[in-house]
Protein backbone atom coordinates (compact mmCIF):
# COMPACT_ATOMS: atom_id res chain seq x y z
CA UNK A 1 0.00 0.00 0.00
CA UNK A 2 1.36 3.43 -0.94
CA UNK A 3 1.22 6.03 1.84
CA UNK A 4 2.76 8.97 0.01
CA UNK A 5 4.64 10.08 -3.08
CA UNK A 6 6.79 13.16 -3.48
CA UNK A 7 9.03 14.59 -6.15
CA UNK A 8 11.20 17.66 -6.37
CA UNK A 9 13.50 19.33 -8.85
CA UNK A 10 16.46 21.45 -7.71
CA UNK A 11 18.61 23.76 -9.80
CA UNK A 12 22.25 22.78 -9.25
CA UNK A 13 23.49 26.30 -10.11
CA UNK A 14 21.11 27.81 -7.55
CA UNK A 15 22.41 25.44 -4.85
CA UNK A 16 26.01 26.26 -5.89
CA UNK A 17 25.22 29.95 -5.43
CA UNK A 18 23.71 29.38 -2.00
CA UNK A 19 26.76 27.33 -0.99
CA UNK A 20 29.04 30.13 -2.19
CA UNK A 21 27.07 32.87 -0.41
CA UNK A 22 26.20 31.09 2.84
CA UNK A 23 28.74 28.24 3.09
CA UNK A 24 28.75 26.37 6.38
CA UNK A 25 25.70 28.22 7.68
CA UNK A 26 23.62 26.68 4.88
CA UNK A 27 25.34 23.28 5.04
CA UNK A 28 24.91 22.96 8.80
CA UNK A 29 21.28 24.08 8.76
CA UNK A 30 20.14 21.69 6.01
CA UNK A 31 22.51 18.71 5.84
CA UNK A 32 23.72 16.14 8.35
CA UNK A 33 27.44 15.58 8.89
CA UNK A 34 27.24 12.36 6.87
CA UNK A 35 25.56 14.17 3.94
CA UNK A 36 28.16 16.93 4.08
CA UNK A 37 31.05 14.46 4.14
CA UNK A 38 29.62 12.64 1.12
CA UNK A 39 29.10 15.86 -0.85
CA UNK A 40 32.53 17.27 -0.03
CA UNK A 41 34.22 14.08 -1.30
CA UNK A 42 32.47 14.29 -4.67
CA UNK A 43 33.79 16.06 -7.76
CA UNK A 44 30.33 17.59 -8.28
CA UNK A 45 29.82 18.91 -4.75
CA UNK A 46 26.91 21.26 -5.65
CA UNK A 47 25.16 18.49 -7.61
CA UNK A 48 25.43 16.12 -4.65
CA UNK A 49 23.95 18.73 -2.32
CA UNK A 50 21.22 19.55 -4.86
CA UNK A 51 20.15 15.90 -5.11
CA UNK A 52 19.90 15.65 -1.32
CA UNK A 53 18.01 18.95 -1.14
CA UNK A 54 15.53 17.62 -3.71
CA UNK A 55 15.22 14.34 -1.75
CA UNK A 56 14.38 16.19 1.47
CA UNK A 57 11.75 18.28 -0.32
CA UNK A 58 10.30 15.16 -1.96
CA UNK A 59 10.25 13.28 1.35
CA UNK A 60 8.44 16.13 3.10
CA UNK A 61 5.82 16.07 0.32
CA UNK A 62 5.46 12.29 0.59
CA UNK A 63 4.88 12.76 4.32
CA UNK A 64 2.02 15.05 3.35
CA UNK A 65 3.37 18.18 4.98
CA UNK A 66 5.93 19.89 2.84
CA UNK A 67 8.50 21.70 4.94
CA UNK A 68 6.11 22.97 7.57
CA UNK A 69 4.43 21.63 10.68
CA UNK A 70 7.71 21.15 12.56
CA UNK A 71 9.78 19.13 10.10
CA UNK A 72 13.43 20.12 10.24
CA UNK A 73 15.70 19.73 7.24
CA UNK A 74 17.90 17.43 9.30
CA UNK A 75 14.89 15.25 10.25
CA UNK A 76 15.41 13.74 6.78
CA UNK A 77 18.82 12.45 5.69
CA UNK A 78 20.12 10.59 2.66
CA UNK A 79 22.88 8.02 2.94
CA UNK A 80 24.02 5.40 0.48
CA UNK A 81 24.32 1.64 0.73
CA UNK A 82 27.64 0.07 -0.33
CA UNK A 83 26.00 -0.51 -3.74
CA UNK A 84 25.42 3.24 -4.10
CA UNK A 85 21.66 2.97 -3.63
CA UNK A 86 20.34 6.03 -1.78
CA UNK A 87 18.46 5.47 1.47
CA UNK A 88 16.27 8.01 3.30
CA UNK A 89 16.38 8.11 7.09
CA UNK A 90 13.84 10.07 9.14
CA UNK A 91 14.10 11.23 12.74
CA UNK A 92 12.32 13.74 14.95
CA UNK A 93 9.01 15.08 13.72
CA UNK A 94 9.40 13.38 10.32
CA UNK A 95 9.63 9.99 12.06
CA UNK A 96 6.60 10.85 14.19
CA UNK A 97 4.62 11.81 11.09
CA UNK A 98 5.67 8.58 9.36
CA UNK A 99 4.53 6.54 12.37
CA UNK A 100 1.15 8.34 12.34
CA UNK A 101 0.70 7.52 8.64
CA UNK A 102 1.60 3.86 8.97
CA UNK A 103 -1.39 1.54 9.55
CA UNK A 104 -1.28 -0.91 12.46
CA UNK A 105 0.33 -4.18 11.50
CA UNK A 106 2.46 -2.54 8.79
CA UNK A 107 6.00 -1.23 8.50
CA UNK A 108 6.88 1.86 6.51
CA UNK A 109 9.52 1.58 3.79
CA UNK A 110 10.85 4.78 2.21
CA UNK A 111 12.07 4.37 -1.37
CA UNK A 112 14.18 7.17 -2.83
CA UNK A 113 15.79 7.70 -6.20
CA UNK A 114 18.09 10.55 -7.20
CA UNK A 115 19.22 11.74 -10.58
CA UNK A 116 20.87 14.76 -12.12
CA UNK A 117 21.35 16.14 -15.58
CA UNK A 118 23.03 19.51 -15.27
CA UNK A 119 21.61 21.98 -14.40
CA UNK A 120 18.88 19.92 -12.72
CA UNK A 121 18.84 17.48 -9.81
CA UNK A 122 15.71 15.47 -9.19
CA UNK A 123 14.42 13.15 -6.48
CA UNK A 124 11.43 10.85 -6.13
CA UNK A 125 10.29 9.49 -2.78
CA UNK A 126 7.65 6.81 -2.36
CA UNK A 127 6.52 5.67 1.08
CA UNK A 128 5.17 2.13 1.15
CA UNK A 129 3.38 0.32 3.98
CA UNK A 130 4.15 -3.41 4.02
CA UNK A 131 2.29 -5.87 6.23
CA UNK A 132 4.47 -7.22 9.04
CA UNK A 133 4.90 -10.97 9.06
The binding site for Mg(2+) consists of: 8, 57
**Cβ contacts of 112 within 8 Å, gap of 6 or more:** 55, 58, 59, 78, 86, 87, 88, 123, 124, 125
List residues bridging with 131 in a β-sheet. 106
The binding site consists of: 8, 57
Of all helices (H) and strands (E), which one includes residue 120?
strand 120-131
For residue 116, which of 16, 43, 9, 6 has the smallest C-alpha distance?
Answer: 9
Contact 128, 106 (CB under 8 A): no
- How many other β-carbons are positioned within 10 Å of the β-carbon of residue 51? 28
Amino acid sequence: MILGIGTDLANIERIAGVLERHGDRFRNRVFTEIEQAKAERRADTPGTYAKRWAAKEACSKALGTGLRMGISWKDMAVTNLATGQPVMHVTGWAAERLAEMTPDGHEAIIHVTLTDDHPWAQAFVLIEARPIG
